[in-house]
Amino acid sequence: MKPIVAFPFRHHGELVSPDAKKMLLDAGFELVCNDTGRRLTVEEQKEMIRDAFAVVSGTEQYDEDMLSAAPNLKVVIRFGVGTDNFDLAAMKRRGIAVGVISNNNCVAEFAVTLILGVIKNIRLFDQTVREGGWARYTMHELKSKTVGIVGFGRIGKRLAQLLQGFDVEMLTYDPYVKEEEAAALNVKPVSLETLLAESDVVSLHIPATPQTRHLINKDTIAMMKDGAYLVNTSRGALIHEPSLVEALQSGKLAGAALDVYEREPVTEDLALGKLDNTLLAPHVAALSVETNYNAGITSAESIIRVFHGGTPLYPVQ
């Protein structure tokens, strides 16, 4: 029996390239895919991964209950970065290797897009012209501003690289920051309090964990500079949304640009969607043609490496 790679996530057909699938087939794997066009039920997911050696996952859950359905599972590759849908401790106990893919450039480029878009009122300009209007608001320039990068991992560092040409001051808060890596990118490591107090733009690049949940709340927003902007391309759980809405309504914050929300997908009653000073995207920061292609190849390569006794290309544990 050939070792099985399961692709239980809904959009695998659009996202995983034929080249990546061919790599796995050529390496002797059998592929089992979710062709329903919808998210699988828990029972369907269990059935699909039952005999799998490897899983390429989306945002579906892999907890103790799910993992117990797959006794042969040796590696799970997240077709993305966030692993908040994984019980990493349970995976470790079961000896399951976990890997992610690298989409740092795509997300960092999108963070730059959101930063520029929100400080330059892009949404309102587009809207006024479409409506046959001519509302010419004054915008801000990024030059000489201070950008606070919360989390100096793959995406935070790539953002710092991309911002080099804008003549900005850059601060970062990350308990695990390597001083020399920050210095090489002209970034100053500081405490969270200092970052919030001194940044004109705060951009979030940390994982959602019990420790980081609602990191941005009424109290931390109060520490931010008056008229600052907040950008979140990480996870919605990092922000207490009602506090953000209040700060945007009162003018404490000048604007927010968000790709992620506390509840996804959002619904029509999203309070943030009723405000003029928000720029909103539907969790797309990593969705590029280039990233999808590379993600497929990375997933295939990682699985083949684990099959031969190695580790995933971007291991999580």
> Is 264 among the residues known to form the active site?
yes
**Catalytic residue check, 12:** no
State the residue for tokens 């991992």. 153
Among positions 157-186, residues that touch ligand NAD (CB under 6 A) are: 173-176
Q: Which amino acid is at 293?
A: Y
The interface mask with ligand NAD, positions 227-246, x = CB under 6 A, is ------xxx-----------
- 151 is an interface residue for ligand NAD by CB under 6 A: yes
Which two three-digit tokens encode residue 198? 């001194």
Q: Is 283 a catalytic residue?
A: yes
| Residue tagged active-site, from 141, 179, 264, 290 | 264
Interface with ligand NAD includes 283 (CB under 6 A)? yes
Q: Is 153 in the site for ligand NAD (CB under 6 A)?
A: yes
Binding to ligand NAD (CB under 6 A) within 82-111 occurs at 82, 103-104, 107
Pick the binder of ligand NAD from 21, 154, 225, 240 (CB under 6 A).
154
> In this complex, which beta carbon is closest to ligand NAD, that of residue 45 or of residue 104?
104
The mark string for 190-209 relative to ligand NAD (x by CB under 6 A, - otherwise) is: ---------------xxxx-
Residue from 259, 270, 279, 302 binding ligand NAD (CB under 6 A): 259
- Interface ranges with ligand NAD (CB under 6 A): 80-82, 103-104, 107, 150-156, 173-176, 205-208, 211-212, 233-235, 259-260, 283, 285-286
Residues catalogued as catalytic: 235, 264, 283
